[in-house]
Structure 1
Amino acid sequence: MFVDIADSTMLYERIGNATAAALTQRVLAHLRQLVEEHKGGVIKSLGDGLLAAFPACDDSIRAACAMIDSQDRFGLRLRVGIHHGAVIEGVGDLYGDACNVAARVQQIARQGEILVTQALVDGLSPNLRERTKPLSNVAMKGKTAPVRVHRVRSADDADDAVESTTLGFSMVTEAGDAMVTLHLSYRGQDITMSRALPRVTIGREDSSGLRIASRQTSRQHAVIDFTRESFLLTDHSTNGTFIRSGGSPPLVLRRDSTKLVGSGLIGFGAEALDESQDHVVAFRGELA
């Protein structure tokens, strides 16, 4: 299991370094206690998260649910990813494909969400298996076949719908080109991303960095991060994200990521046909 405090960088900016560090340590101590209460062990801390292991699939799900149930106590949101498989045990760490898959699953979880793999679901007792809902087949680096991902149901499944297979693509620039500025335009609102503004959350929620006023858009639909001299869009949605750039065929993301290159349109929840549509954002990147 990988568990992460969502948007911890923004937390430090919002409440200050000392206060955020103290809060983070309290949260991690609480998560560690929940892991141990459910027969698991914390392998290591990850700054704003933990890597933990459990003797049984049921134990991991119960611990994850307890974590999500307690997150409001701290005013934070967590992301949890769990996979079942063999690992290699090192000194204070675990290695192997199972760890890589669990980490990837945690990365694509939305705030307040538990995502698990088919391998984990297959190991659950019937009553806990009923709490899972299949989402998408997620393409993962280094794996020849997509990995089936499920969501552990919560009390609030209002943003629920049947999802389909993830298609994983990668749009890359010519060698040596590095985008350092990304301009986003939506209904008269313009946002410029760069090192000074390295993350923008996108969705229907009022708290989103870029709020999309469309019923087709999920509350926590996607996030764009500036990392390694490129802009990475990660979809967290129900209906998917549709990217149209130049003369290339439209790219469809569902619980997957891609680099934004050049200029074009992004449809949050449906295909992007025209910039005037209420779910469509125009983007334009500038190279160094």
Structure 2
Amino acid sequence: MAHSPSQRISVLPSLEKPLALLFVDIADSTMLYERIGNATAAALTQRVLAHLRRLVEEQRGGVIKSLGDGLLAAFPVCDDSARAACAMIGIQDLHGMRLRIGIHFGAVIEGVGDLYGDACNVAARVQQIARPGEILATQALVDGLSPDQRSRTKPLSNVAMKGKAAPIRVHQIRSADEADDAIESTTLGFSLVPEAGRSMVTLHLSYRGQDITMSRGLPRVTIGREDSSGLRIASRQTSRQHAVIDFTRESFLLTDHSTNGTYIRSGGSPPVVLRRDSTKLVGSGLIGFGAEALDESQDHVVAFRGELA
């Protein structure tokens, strides 16, 4: 007798079972409702969610619940969750939307129409820090992938999460086309081991006594007001998910995703202002997340310094 996807992943009450958990959310859905109106946006959202459900079921997963503008799905096999995520990213342009996706593998307990456990919280957190159009996965999920699927992942930063004693390593999962193209910061992979005879480029970030050193070993840092940020900025002028710095092609690329913009001051040059744009960080200076950087003591300002180690 054939079983539905939800039956295939069902577990007995009070018994834990390891599953790959996928959270997907429509990015900037609030702006969508403002732009095209409630009725039209709601109808479009429902069409997208129905399409996402079909993609989950095609990869032998089950949708656990709807989350307003997103879904929680579960898969017995890590590879299936990664394939479903890539398929979701692949249909974004069809609907004119961008999705944020987070995946984690861990033990959960199934309740009535829901899953419970720390693994659910981790997967939700990973989805929240993903950029529009991006798939992020934890180390636990990546460890469960086949070699073919694992080759499409790119290690990013260690992310601090509430309730966790140690940061969690986060990876980006790329579609087959992105992995083949391997261009710019979001699709270019790096070896974690320096090549023989080459100096390692590093970028030092300093904020209120906290120091972060970026390199091939830590090729990405998320910056914002959210607790889950790799570098949390305690300023009202800073957006919750303000910016990201990626190590790419032997340089560091800062990309702004904020409301108020990012201000970069280096040497005696006029400040560079980013609004949903990117620039390379060169030399040393100050970065103002949400307002101009006048002094390192300001609560929105981070000092940076690049060097060869």
Please indicate, yes or no, whether the TM-score normalized by the shorter chain is above 0.5: yes
Partner SS, residue 27 of structure 1:
helix
Q: Which residue of 1 aligns with 2:29?
A: 8
TM-score (structure 2 length as normaliser): 0.60
Q: CA deviation at 1:123?
A: 0.6
Q: Which residue of 2 aligns with 1:217?
A: 254
Deviation of residue 223 (structure 1)? 3.4
Work out whether residues 39 and 54 of structure 1, in 8 Å CA contact, stay in contact via their aligned partners in 2: yes
Equivalent residue letter for 1:42 = V
Q: 1:200 to 1:89 in 2, by over 3 A?
A: closer
Q: Deviations over 1:20-77 (max 9, x none)?
A: 0000000000000110111000000000000000010011011111100111100000
1:136 aligned onto 2:157:
yes
Instruction: State whether residues 4 and 78 of structure 1, in contact with CA within 8 Å, keep that contact through their aligned partners in structure 2.
Output: yes
The answer on whether the counterparts of 1:58 and 1:125 sit within 8 Å (CA) in structure 2 is: yes
SS in 1 for 2:105: coil
Find the aligned partners of 1:41 and 1:24 in 2 and give their Cα distance.
19
SS of the equivalent of 2:42 reads helix
Q: Are positions 1:34 and 2:49 aligned together? A: no
Superposed displacement of residue 144, structure 1: 0.4
Counterpart CA distance in 1 for 2:156 and 2:143 is 15
CA distance in 1, matches of 2:232, 2:27: 25
Q: 8 Å contact 2:253–2:279 — kept in the other structure?
A: no
Contact 2:234 2:299 in 1 (8 A): no
**How big is each residue's C-alpha offset from its partner over 1:108-159, in whole Å with a ceiling of 9 and x where there is no partner?**
1111111001100111111001011101111111100110111012434433
- Preserved CA contact (<8 Å) 2:155 2:219: no
Q: Which aligned segments of 4 or more residues in structure 1 are displaced greater than 4 angstroms?
A: 165-173, 198-203, 237-248
Secondary structure in 2 matching 1:85: strand
The 1-side partners of 2:138 and 2:160 are apart by: 12
Amino acid aligned to 1:83? H
Aligned position for 1:278: none
Percent of residue pairs identical:
65
Q: Secondary structure at the match of 1:86?
A: strand
How far apart in 1 are the matches of 2:172 and 2:87?
15
For 1:1-288, what aligned pairs fall within 5 Å after superposition?
1-154=22-175, 155-156=177-178, 157-160=182-185, 162=216, 163-164=218-219, 168=230, 182=237, 216-218=253-255, 221-223=256-258, 248=297, 264-265=300-301
Indicate how the Cα distance of structure 1 residues 47 and 238 shifts in structure 2: closer, same or farther if over 3 A, else same.
farther
> By how many angstroms is 1:13 displaced?
0.5
Could you tell me which runs of 5 or more consecutive residues in structure 2 were left unpaired when the two chains were aligned: 1-21, 189-215, 222-228, 245-251, 261-277
Letter in 2 for 1:115: L
2-side partners of 1:78 and 1:238: how far apart? 24
Aligned residues: 214
Tell me how large the CA RMSD over aligned residues is.
3.5
| 1:187 matched residue in structure 2 | none
In 2, the alpha carbon distance for the partners of 1:93 and 1:42 equals: 10
Label 1:24 to 1:222 Cα distance change in 2 as closer, same or farther (>3 A): same
> Quick check: 2:105–2:119 contact (8 Å CA) kept in 1?
yes
**One-letter amino acid matched to 1:61:** A
